[in-house]
Amino acid sequence: MDNINVKYKINRFFYVVTNPRTNLWLIVINLIMVLGMLLGIVKYITVGIACLVIINIIMVFDLFFHSPRELAFNEGVAEFDEYVRMKPKTSPFVVTRGIYVWVKIGYSVSNVRDVQFHQNFFEKIFNIGRISFSGKETFTVKQRYENRIKKKNNFKIYGIKTFSHFKDQFRQY
Identify residue 2 by its one-letter amino acid code. Answer: D
| Per-residue pLDDT, 74 | 82
3-state class (DSSP) for residue 108: strand
Cβ(113)–Cβ(96) under 8 Å? no
In angstroms, how far is the first alpha carbon of the chain from the final one? 4
What average pLDDT does this structure show over 19-31?
A: 75
- 139 vs 52: CA distance, rounded Å: 37
User: Which of 99, 115, 109 is CA-nearest to residue 68?
Assistant: 109
User: How big, in percent rounded to 5, are the helix, strand and coil portions of the chain?
Assistant: 40, 35, 30
Q: What is the pTM of this model?
A: 0.72
The helix or strand, by DSSP H or E, that contains position 90, with its residue range, turns out to be none
pLDDT above 80: residue 35: no
Which of 60-69, 98-107, 137-146, 155-164 ranks highest by mean pLDDT? 155-164
Mean pLDDT value across the chain: 79
Name the percent of the chain lying above pLDDT 70: 86
Give the pLDDT band of residue 149 (cuts 50, 70, 90).
Answer: confident
The residue type of 136 is K
Buried b or exposed e, range 17-29, using 16+ CB within 10 angstroms: bbbeebeeebeee
Rounded to whole angstroms, the Cα distance separating 95 from 85 reads: 18
Q: What is the pLDDT of residue 153?
A: 86
pLDDT at 96 over 80: no
Task: Report angle CA 12, 126, 60 to the nearest 5 degrees.
Answer: 30
AA identity, residue 161:
K
Distance CA 80, CA 71 (A): 5
Distance CA 167, CA 131 (A): 9
From 158, 148, 80, select the one nearest 117 (Cα to Cα): 158
Q: What is the dihedral of CA 103, 106, 112, 116, to 10 degrees?
A: 50
